[in-house]
Amino acid sequence: MISLAGRDILHSWGKFVLTGLGLGLLIGVTFTMAGVYRGMVDDAKVLLNNSGADLWVVQKDTLGPYAESSSIRDDVYRGILGMPGVAQAANVTYLTMQIRKGGTDVRAMVVGVVAGEPGEPAYLIAGRRVTRSHYEAVADVSAGFALGDSIRIRRHEYTVVGLTRRMVSSGGDPMVFIPLKDAQDAQFLKDNDAIVNERTRTAVNPALNRPGVPGLLDAIEASQTSNHNVNAVLVRVAEGRSPEAVAQDIRRWKHVQAFTREQMENILIAKLIATASKQIGMFLVILTIVSAAIVAFIIYTMTLGKIREIAVLKLIGTHNRTIASMIVQQALGLGLIGFAVGKVAATVWAPAFPRYVLLLPADAVTGFVIVMLVCVLASTLAIRAAITVDPATAIGG
Amino acid sequence: MRRSFALPRQVWFAVVGGALLLALAWVALRSGPLAPIQVTVTQVVTGEVSPALFGIGTVEAQRAYLIGPTTAGRVRRVLVDVGDTVTAGQLLAEMEPVDLDTRVASSLAAASRGQSLVAAAEAQERDARSRQTLATTEARRAVDLGQAGVISQSAVDTARQAQQSADAQVAAAEAALAGARRDLARLDADISGSQQQRGNIRLSAPVDGVVTSRAAEPGSTVIAGQAVIKLEDPGSLWISVRLDQGRSAGLRAGLPATITRRSDPLTHLQGRVVRVEPTSDAVTEERIAKVAIDRLPEGITTGEMAEVTLSLPSIRNALIVPNASLRHRGAQPGVWVHADGQLRFVPVKTGVEGLDGLVQILDGLKAGDEVVVYSDRDLTDGARISVVPVLRGADK
């Protein structure tokens, strides 16, 4: 038995392939959209993974350090280190700022970490880890820095000694890792003019500059320029201990908030990128409807284009079912080409996006099923047109 | 001509379909989560690790002098200015004497009056002695006459009593003279006391040095102990270096140091650690060391920031890996060993680390092992990898 659908496709295969190609690009856009959402979620997970922490200890009653600002004293970690079940605890600071690089600015999240402790990037793609306790940086490759580059954060020049990949904040800003003490300074260090003005302000305050107490002014100025705050303490739990139990202990006795990995993931995904993902979800729905409509119109016009041939088929007594299956087969074929082109296209252009686009195989399978379903649904319009055609049309009636 | 290219449509269609399928398969396996993870590997080698400590510090004067009055007062004049070189003993400033000069005059007058009193006491003593001589003679004569029965016993007793009284007066006059002399000594001491006080308001340099601050101008009132002039010994400049406690193993006096000043980053000065402070900073968790500069450069100033690298003795014949190859599994550091195309996480014990990023491995690896240095993604057991010389995007 010959396949009428196959025959017809072969008859005008160029047109068919080109149509499939166009449809494929549209499907590629849809896949990319889903990939952008997956990428955002995955970025959040990578952010948590790479910090290497089991617990995040932050200021009480905050959802910090990513979703909300949090500030705790930098000696809190010592108390936490003494809690049972805590293997490692380290201070960490996060600050999103503009970093000067040559003549331009790069928006980046500056992370202050203690070498060898949680918070350091888990892996590098080039260079080495920070070995000096000051003025060295490990930067994410998406910030556009290269090894040996000199970057300026506030007053100091830092040398880029290592590169990471996919170390971005929840907002997509590349991370730059610098030693903790430098980061603490950078968070609170003002420019020189501001410091000089502040000193003058303090000096003219008669309560702070008292003639009878010679050293007071110096002491006050020194205390104004130092910073002993960090944003969070990252905790690694000892082997075999439940992070939740340790977190409960810390919450109860240290009067700070402690989040486990699951809670943190929930905060990042449910709170931080919730609106963005809804936005993308809405876009996905609209794209699916638009794709379905386009497939329907294409199949419909293709069917109308050979309405005479169909009338002839009907004239020679072909079953309606045969005609319908022919149209469905063509629609599925179109969908198949579209899916393949879309998947390839999405993969090809995904790396060009500024933020990570993650194309999951599971998403591809779901996409395939949806494409096929949409094609079947879209062909109903054409089937209706073909079935209701008057066989007399074949002889010009 | 055209016909010769007209392959059957089926063939064309099959070619396009096949290409599409191949592309799809390539895409599914080479990108996304199923793609192999690009890694670079290196061999564990035996070599030399040159550990070093790195800290930042400020230039300070080892000996700085705050020169001010010992009592509250007003500054009369200041003779030196910032930057002046002074010698030991040189007068730098003077406080207002207020009543000190009149106090000296008063004690001088009191002393001369004391001298007069001594002279008077001496005269009184002489007077008493002459009376004593007379009384003694008369008493002896009365005794002789009494024995001869010429005068009554009563007259003899009176003469004896007169002699004893004259003796007592001599003793009194001697005591008064000694008292007057001691008084004079006290008044003399008063003179030198008020003169010393007068001298104390002259602020002079205790050592040779350079004036770094002129903290009070003539006419201003300063309290006891407040500095009027600050001096520094320019030869005693050193660097107070702060080193992270966590990275200060091996810090000791005598370590050679390379110093780079922020004001002159191209010049590297040599020096050495002369003292490790016995107390560390508990708040900043830093240790403090003093580093002397071998040859002080021109124009070095206190308060300047300097980066100091302290070289520790290097360790030879150590197993070394780049620090980028160290990963953590939980709290356990280790490396991914690549053998027979498979990855295996091997826990290691690390030793010292050089500033160039090489880490000594004490336990867990042997020379010749192949370890993963860089990777495109986080590695897991059984992950598919492809070994490349340089990671994509890392070679810019």
Structure confidence by residue, pLDDT tens digits, B267-290: 999 999 999 999 998 888 899 999
Instruction: Determine contact: B326 vs chain A, CB below 8 A.
Output: yes
Which of B28, B243, B331 is facing A361, going by the closest CB pair?
B28
What's the gap between Cα B83 and its chain centre?
22
Instruction: Determine contact: B220 vs chain A, CB below 8 A.
Output: no
B31, A347: Cβ pair inside 8 Å? Answer: yes
Q: How far apart are CA A246 and CA B110, in angstroms?
A: 84
Q: How far apart are CA B247 and CA A116, in angstroms?
A: 11
Question: Considering only CB atoms, which chain B residues are within 8 Å of A125?
Answer: 374-376, 391, 393-394
The pair of structure tokens assigned to B203 is 């602020």
A126, B391: Cβ pair inside 8 Å? Answer: yes
Paired strand residues for B57: B241, B306
Position A2 pLDDT exceeds 60: no
Share of chain A above pLDDT 90, in %: 24
Gyration radius of chain A's alpha carbons: 31
How many residues in chain B? 396
Which of A141, A181, A212 is facing B394, going by the closest CB pair?
A141
What's the confidence (pLDDT) of residue B1?
40
What's the confidence (pLDDT) of residue A16?
82
**pLDDT tens digits, one per residue of A264-306:** 999 888 887 888 888 888 988 898 888 888 888 888 888 888 8
Q: Find the DSSP H helices in chain B.
A: 2-5, 9-30, 100-147, 153-200
pLDDT confidence tier of residue A380, bands split at 50, 70 and 90: confident
* pTM (predicted TM-score): 0.80
Mean of the per-residue pLDDT values for chain A? 86
Paired strand residues for A112: A93, A178
The pair of structure tokens assigned to A370 is 């949806």
A123, B322: Cβ pair inside 8 Å? Answer: no
Mean pLDDT of A129-137: 90
SS3 B50: coil
Mean pLDDT by 10 residues, chain B (396 residues): 57 79 78 80 91 91 90 91 92 89 91 92 94 92 90 90 93 94 92 87 91 91 88 91 88 93 91 94 89 91 91 91 89 88 90 89 90 89 86 75
Mean pLDDT of A42-71: 88
Which of A11, A133, A236 is facing B331, going by the closest CB pair?
A236
Q: How far apart are CA A384 and CA A310, in angstroms?
A: 12
DSSP structure string for B301-335: -TT-EEEEEEEPPPEEEEEEEEGGG-EEETTEEEE
Q: Complex ipTM, two decimals?
A: 0.79
Which of A10, A127, A134 is facing B324, going by the closest CB pair?
A127
End-to-end CA distance of chain A: 31
A49, B56: Cβ pair inside 8 Å? Answer: no
A361, B330: Cβ pair inside 8 Å? Answer: no
The pairing of strands A136-140 and A156-164 is parallel
Q: How far apart are CA A327 and CA A299, in angstroms?
A: 8
**pLDDT tens digits, one per residue of A331-343:** 888 888 889 899 8
The pairing of strands A232-237 and A55-58 is antiparallel
What's the confidence (pLDDT) of residue B393?
77
A122, B327: Cβ pair inside 8 Å? Answer: yes
